[in-house]
Structures are given as C-alpha cells and as structure tokens.
Amino acid sequence: MNPAAKSFYEPLEGGRFHSTQATSGPWSELAQHGGPPAALLARALEALDEGTPRVIGRFTMDLLGPVPVQDLTLTSSVPRPGRTVSLRQAELSDGTGRVVARAQGWAFPAVEWPEDETPGGLGTPLQHGPSDGHPEEVPASWFRGYLDSVEWQWIEGAIGQPGPAVVWMRPLLPLVPGEALSPLQRLLACVDSASGASAALDPADWNFMNTELTVHVVRPAVGEWVCLRAETTLSTGAVGLAAAEVYDEHGLVARSAQALLVARR
C-alpha cells in the first residue's frame, strides 16, 4: 500500500477534494482508477437529504475524460425529485472547471421489512470466501497507487492475465479521513475493476478503457469484502462489454456493466 496515503481523498473547502496517489490507476500516475471517483460521487448522492431515508438502487457514472490526480470540485443536485423515487446527480470537475465524471442514481425508499415478510433473502452464498483466494503479482510496468490500496484475493484468473476472473476485494483505505466507507461506497470502490480483472486481451498490447459504469444494486453489501465474478465480451469492432456479478459473503449484491473502448496500444 502507498505509505504516504491515509485515504483516497482529503476534503478541502468549498466542495473540493484533494486526490491522493492512492487514486492513481495502473496506466498512468496522473489519471485516476475509476473506483475512487465512483465511490466519491456515490458519497455525494447518499448525502442528499430529501426528507425521508432512501437507498441508491441504480448507479451510473459517465467518464467524460481522464479523471486527473489533482484537486477536484464536487457538486450534487436532485434533477428529478419525487415523493417515492427520485433521480440524484453528482459531478466532478477539474481545476479548469471541466466536468470529468458525472454520476446519477435512482433513489428508492429505505424499507426495513419484518423478518417474516421479507420478499427476498440474502441469496445463495458463494462456495468460497476471501480466505480461499491468493494474491497475484502486479505487472512491473503498472502504477501501483490504487492497486496497492486494495487487498486482492484471486479465486480464478489473475490481474494482467486475459480471461474471466473471480476475485475478492477489500479497500484498505477510507474514502476520506475519519469516515467509514458505506456499503455502496465500498462496492463502487471495487466494481470498476471488473474490466481489468477479466481482460479479454493482453493489456501489454491493447487498451480497453471503460467510458461508463452502470451498477444495479440488489441490497447493501455486508462486511468488508466484495467478490467480482467478471467476464469481458469482445466482437469485431471497437466496443467491448465487461459485466460482473458482485457478491458479499452472504450472496448476490449487485450486477454491473461497462462499455469499453478497445484499441491497440
């Protein structure tokens, strides 16, 4: 883990956040991995107060360009209020005022069902857990900011190895100092890794950059760990699809999808 980083971001005044080196992605130390911005945007969506408790049932993030490892400005709003369901929005802007990432989330009522009336349970747990996995070496040419800020326990596949993958993940840092990750923030800090974990091509020869992330959340994740069961599908064009089922140690939590731009390096 990056010893200089104690969190992914440090709050500044006026809705601004300092991005630490823990946010940097594997391709460039100057550009962030998609996980930390997704979690920071989700934090803003969750913080919006509409008078009644709500949960985010669907989260989408559009990456409008590389998210730089620098100070960012965060704004949020409710473009579509509703008595029962609302649409929330948050944006990250760089130092020039350019929006680099935009997220929207459909917010649903936070319902506590009586145990004997719950319409769905936690689901079927996976037949393995984090203790059944093993770490894998990171390619020497990759930048290790984000990669070292998350614990990885691989069940199938490996980072930098083409093909489907199953990996347990746990962020080792808080999003901001002194604040525990919410279940949604923890999930989003990890799930953007599905495209890299399940790379269908050798990343030494190909770029497969996701332009967006869509996550449908079944229920809040329980515990520190989430597991991605990820697979990337390619065809003959420049578009790829990385999809994942996301689990905690009790069962299914979410499903995600990412549209990929595929190009030879």
Q: Over the stretch 176-198, which tens digit does the pLDDT of each residue have?
A: 999 999 999 999 999 999 998 99
Banded model confidence at residue 111, pLDDT cuts 50, 70, 90: confident
* pLDDT over threshold 70, residue 119: no
**Which residues, in sequence order, are CB contacts of 231 under 8 Å at separation 6+?**
164, 165, 198, 242, 243, 244
Banded model confidence at residue 1, pLDDT cuts 50, 70, 90: very low
What average pLDDT does this structure show over 164-173?
97
Tokens in use for 182? 């919410």
What does 83-143 look like in DSSP terms, one character per residue?
SS-EEEEEEEE-TTS-EEEEEEEEEEE-----GGG-SS-S-PPPS--GGG-B--PPPTTS-
**For residue 230, what is the enclosing H or E element?**
strand 226-234
- What is the DSSP code (8-state) at residue 160? T
What pLDDT, in 10s, does the model give residues 82-98? Answer: 999 999 999 999 999 99
Q: Which fold has domain 9-110+124-264?
A: Porin (2.40.160)
Closest C-alpha among 193, 76, 204 to residue 146 = 193
Distance of alpha carbon 41 from alpha carbon 86, whole angstroms = 16
Which pLDDT score, from 0 to 100, does residue 118 have?
Answer: 59
Banded model confidence at residue 201, pLDDT cuts 50, 70, 90: confident
Determine which of 24-38, 74-88, 206-220 has the lowest per-residue pLDDT on average.
206-220
Distances (CA, A) of 104 to 20, 192, 246: 24, 16, 20
DSSP reduced 3-state for 236:
coil
What average pLDDT does this structure show over 131-144?
90
**Residues 258, 232, 197, CA angle at the centre, nearest 5°?**
85
What pLDDT, in 10s, does the model give residues 58-68? Answer: 999 999 999 99
Distances (CA, A) of 213 to 63, 103, 184, 253, 259: 8, 9, 14, 16, 7
Residue with tokens 């704004």: 75
Amino acid at 48: L
Could you tell me if 169 and 228 are in contact, meaning their C-beta atoms sit under 8 angstroms apart?
Answer: yes
Tokens in use for 85? 């369901």
Which pLDDT score, from 0 to 100, does residue 113 have?
Answer: 66
What average pLDDT does this structure show over 104-122?
76
For residue 17, the tally of other CB atoms under 10 A from its CB is 24
* pLDDT over threshold 60, residue 13: yes
Q: Where are the domains of the chain?
A: 9-110+124-264
Distance of alpha carbon 14 from alpha carbon 28, whole angstroms = 28
What average pLDDT does this structure show over 121-134?
90
Banded model confidence at residue 138, pLDDT cuts 50, 70, 90: confident
- What is the DSSP code (8-state) at residue 21? G
What average pLDDT does this structure show over 16-32?
95
